[in-house]
Each structure stands twice: as C-alpha cells, then as structure tokens.
Amino acid sequence: MLPKRNPLRLNTLQLKTLALFQAMAEIPESGETDPETGDRAITRFPHAHGDHIHMGDGFVMGKDATGMGNESVWVALERKGLAKSSFPNSIRITPAGLEYETGVRDKIIQKPDGDHDHQH
C-alpha cells in the first residue's frame, strides 16, 4: 500500500512553509545539524528581494513564503513533531520534518530561467 499523502494533515500554508524550511536545511550556510538528534537548526534566513526570496539556486515568490514569518505556522509544525520553534530567531527541523513529503516543493521553488538575472 502506498503511504498516505500528508498523513499529518498539514494545511497548505504549513506544507509550503515546511517545504521552504526543508530547502533551507540543505543550504550549508543556513545553520547546522545536531549530531545527537539529527535536528537541522536554521538560524540564517534568506531576505526578500522585491516580490521574491532567493533560496539556494532557486527563488520563491513572496506569496508562497508568508508562513516563514507566521508564528502560528511554526507552532503547528512543532506540535506535529516536525520542528522545534524559537520564533522568530531560529527553527530546528526534526528528522521527521526533513523527511516529510510536502508535495509542493517543486511547485513553489522556481529555478532561474535566464530572465531572472538581476543584480543585488
């Protein structure tokens, strides 16, 4: 039997936010991993540039990243065992959170296609 999609019944904003935190967890400069727990601390967050936020080699539209600044989303992810919130300074994504299949990551994190080639 296939695993159930979204078994913790995260809402759309929670799924998008978790997907962004998962992507940030893959960026070495974003924080560090606790060798004992496997939690990935995110202590450095990307800054918005106009209507988007750079995320590794891609970018996210600001409308898809509103949960990053929403304490109730962080608390919900913590309540479901996917993160440990220290809002707004840092968040620790648990191994369960790192592995959770959001199904939205490829939809919200866009890769540059050449015309997104501006200077910062």
- For the chain, the structural domain boundaries read 12-108
Residue 3: its pLDDT value, please? Answer: 64
Q: Counting beta carbons within 10 angstroms of the beta carbon of residue 105, is it exposed (0 to 12), middle (13 to 18) or buried (19 or more)?
A: middle
Residue 79: its pLDDT value, please? Answer: 98
User: What mean pLDDT is predicted for residues 102-114?
Assistant: 89
Cα–Cα distance, 77 to 83 (Å, whole number)? 6
Task: Tell me: pLDDT of 120 over 60.
Answer: no
Q: Counting beta carbons within 10 angstroms of the beta carbon of residue 6, is it exposed (0 to 12), middle (13 to 18) or buried (19 or more)?
A: middle
41-100 pLDDT tens trace: 999 999 888 999 999 889 999 999 999 999 999 999 999 999 999 999 999 999 999 999
User: What mean pLDDT is predicted for residues 14-28?
Assistant: 97
Residue 118: its pLDDT value, please? Answer: 46
Task: Write out the DSSP string of 78-105.
Answer: HHTTSEEEETTTEEEE-HHHHH---S-H
- Rounded to the nearest integer, the mean pLDDT of the chain is 91
Residue 117: its pLDDT value, please? Answer: 47
> Between residues 117 and 94, which one has the greater pLDDT?
94
Residue 48: its pLDDT value, please? Answer: 86
